[in-house]
Chains A and B, each alone.
Chain A
Amino acid sequence: MTIRILSVAAVLAAGVSFAQAQQLAPSPTLDAVKARGNLECGVHLGLPGFSFANDKGEWSGLDVDYCKALAAAVLGDATKVKYTPTSVQQRWPILQSGQVDVLSRNSTITFSRNATLGLNFQGINFYEGQTFVVRKSTGVKEAAGLDGASVCVAAGSTEEKNAADWFRERNLKVTITNFQKNDDAITAYDSGRCDAYTAGVGALAGQRAKLKNPDEHVILTQPISNDPQGPVTRWGDERWQLIVRWVLNGTIAAEALGVASKNVDEMKANSKNTEVRRLLGAEGGFGAMMGLSNDWMYNAIKQVGNYGESYERTVGMGSQLKLERGQNQLWTKGGLLFTPPFQ
């Protein structure tokens, strides 16, 4: 009798654990983050508006905000992030080798990076166009006016190739000088080595502040490319990719649904909208489906805010950069941001 009860219990236990195992594939990255108690996030060396450490060592910026939202969703605390600043050259190896859990670093999503680097791009948190900064005294109004000029750029960036292609297609002769870091390139431009410096419009807006006399320089308005950017993960941990992707979707969906850091408590308690209720963990158990607590997005929005709040604070009108929302506006307001529904 005892033996029978025990064996029934054993079968039941096995069945339960089997059901659990079926529901949640193992996620080594998530387990490591939970065990460690913090998220390792690869960020830019220092790009105002995107990832920048102040003199107290506190990181801020649009890319940094994503790290915070992810930490809040996974660990319940947006401050539990260890930032690893990476150069253009270090960014892929540092992610490939497992030194960081996610890369949120102003890096353009391209086909060959996706196909050959063992990396996955989990969505877009910033649509960027490449443009140039030139001295006002040159009178240059558009990129085509740079014929014969010399241009400084960071080596190995998509900008380096974009610029070379763009000028070659138009039969314009431009000398491109490749520096190892964005900062070196803009210093060389400032010292008169180059007639123009090229980077994404968001990066340029932040870097213009580093010039000796920012008012003597102008950013050309017409972009020569479209460079979508977003968080990057390694191949092989599908559940972690799911989390990284849906935290990004969650911050954008929150803005679309009118959920912000100020009203998130009230919305969670009173909202009748089922999508809001699922997003905030009031129903549906969506967090548990990924192995997180059900208030994952509640924590992220409560502590970091939705995408729009983050944008205004870091690169938008509430920041030094004063970038229009433009393409980075919700699709309902004429932008490109669109997320699959929480259902």
Chain B
Amino acid sequence: MTKALSIINDKRVRDWIYQIAVVVFLVGMTVFFVRNASENMVKAGIASGFDFLWRTSGIEVPFVLTGYTQADNILGLFWVGVANTMLVTVIAIVLATLLGFVVGIARLSTHWLLSTIAGAYIEFVRNIPLLFFVLFWYFGIIAALPAPRQSISLFGVAFLNNRGVTIPLPDGLENFRVAGLVILVSVLAYWAFAIWARRRQERTGLHAPTLRVGLALLLAVPLLAIVWATLATRWDVPALRGFNYRGGFAVIPEFVALLAALVTYTAGFIAEIVRGGIQSVSHGQTEAGSALGLRSGQILRLVTIPQALRVMIPPLTNQYLNVLKNSSFGAAIAYPDVVSLFMGSALNNTGQAIEIIAMTLAVYLVIGLAVSAIMNWYNARIALVTR
């Protein structure tokens, strides 16, 4: 009796009991809801299951990265939506981070005008709903561009109008593959050089010309390779025929508007995270750095930013997840993301609401967990190592 009591009083055992109870409850609820829904659907004569995914979709999509055509099945349509969601999310995350850093650092600048403008931008962005940005970029900026016949020509090869940007498309990618290989070798060479230089410095204290070698291997060589590949490839240059430019690759205005909205919106939040991160590093650290004889660039690179990053990564992860979820605002302006294509067109054509919404949820869950896993891994890598 006393023994049984002491087992229940054991915190670890109790924790396990709670955990198991919660899992049993959740599984029970899920089973109940799924069974309830499927029984009701059978009663109401509504088809269920995932067979509809193999039906021909018949839906024409204006922005496709996966080689999908309207003769493909609905599963193909699903992947188009997933690819478009991921494309806009990844590019928006990169650009919003860059813009956010610039604005965040400008906010901290001692230059009065610069910091005021940055401050005004941040306050403006953070107090206005995202849908406004999306509609503003789409109907306010993009729709105000000229019609195809009056397109703005960029060097006679790319054309900007209210149908988007039409850019030339290479006829073949062979030269670009060669260029990619050259760039890869060059980056690997720099990496090897950097390791060698650090070891030598640790051994002998001699500095290697890392910056100059870096510029050559990471900038000059790739640039030359790309210029060579561009010149050596035949290009399909868009030409005005009938209603619009034909040939080349058309970047649709919905993509541009959604990307611009996500970047300008998220950058406001990232700027605050950057400001907070940098301000969290005490000024004594900078002073200690200069006492050691480090130059100001080195202090920023070796002392301030590593410590600021530790504070910034967790809230940045949240912002990246927000970008992913906010990309669904594309549905408001016909950007063919997974919400618009799959939860819109496919759901309507098939009526399989439960299956389609479950699959869309799963997409966001999987991408979201992947983003936070990467960020958590990075966070663990740069976390303060206590000895």
Contacts and interface: CB of A to CB of B under 8 A. Distances in A.
Interface of A: 88-89, 92-93, 96, 112-113, 115-119, 138, 146-150, 152, 155-157, 160-161, 163-165, 167-168, 174-180, 184-185, 187-188, 191-193, 195, 234-236
With most chain B CB atoms within 10 A of its CB, the pick from A89, A115, A174 is A89
B147 A192 contact: yes
In the complex, which of the residues A88, A180, A235 has the most CB atoms of chain B within 10 Å of its own CB atom?
A180
B244 A150 contact: yes
Contact of A92 (B59, B70, B343, B351): B351
Contacts of A176: 60-62
Contacts of A191: 139, 143, 162
Contacts of B345: 155-156, 160, 178
Interface stretch (B44-52, B274-282, B369-377): B44-52
Interface in B119-149: 139, 143, 147
Nearest to B162: A192
A288 B68 CA distance: 56
Interface centre among A115, A146, A163, A195 (most CB of B within 10 A): A195
B139 A177 contact: no
Nearest to A181: B332
B59 A177 contact: no
Contacts of B162: 191-193
Contacts of A147: 242-243
Interface of B: 41, 43-47, 52, 58-62, 70-71, 139, 143, 147, 162-163, 241-244, 246, 250, 252-254, 331-334, 336, 340-341, 343-353
Nearest to A115: B47
Given A116-B47, A148-B241, A149-B243, A156 B348 contact: yes
Nearest to B349: A156
Interface centre among A88, A112, A163, A177 (most CB of B within 10 A): A177
A177 B254 contact: yes
Nearest to B245: A148
A112 B52 CA distance: 11
Nearest to B354: A93
B59 A116 contact: no
A235 B253 contact: no
Contacts of B45: 118-119, 235-236
A160 B59 contact: yes
Given A176-B62, A187-B139, 5 more contacts: A93-B353, A116-B52, A148-B246, A150-B163, A177-B254
Contacts of B353: 92-93
A95 to B, nearest CB: 10
A234 B351 CA distance: 14
Contacts of A118: 41, 44-46
A273 B244 CA distance: 63
Contact of A155 (B71, B344, B351, B352): B344
A296 B143 CA distance: 53
A119 B47 CA distance: 11
Nearest to A113: B351
A168 B69 CA distance: 11
B244 A164 contact: no
A219 B105 CA distance: 55
Contact of B340 (A96, A155, A167): A155
Contact of B243 (A96, A148, A236): A148
A124 to B, nearest CB: 21
A235 B46 CA distance: 9
Given A117-B46, A117-B351, A180 B163 contact: no
A157 B43 contact: no
A188 B46 CA distance: 35
Contacts of B70: 164-165, 168
A234 B44 contact: yes
A235 B344 contact: no
A273 to B, nearest CB: 39
A105 to B, nearest CB: 13
Nearest to B332: A180
Contacts of A160: 59-60, 345
Nearest to B143: A191
Given A93-B353, A184-B334, A161 B348 contact: no
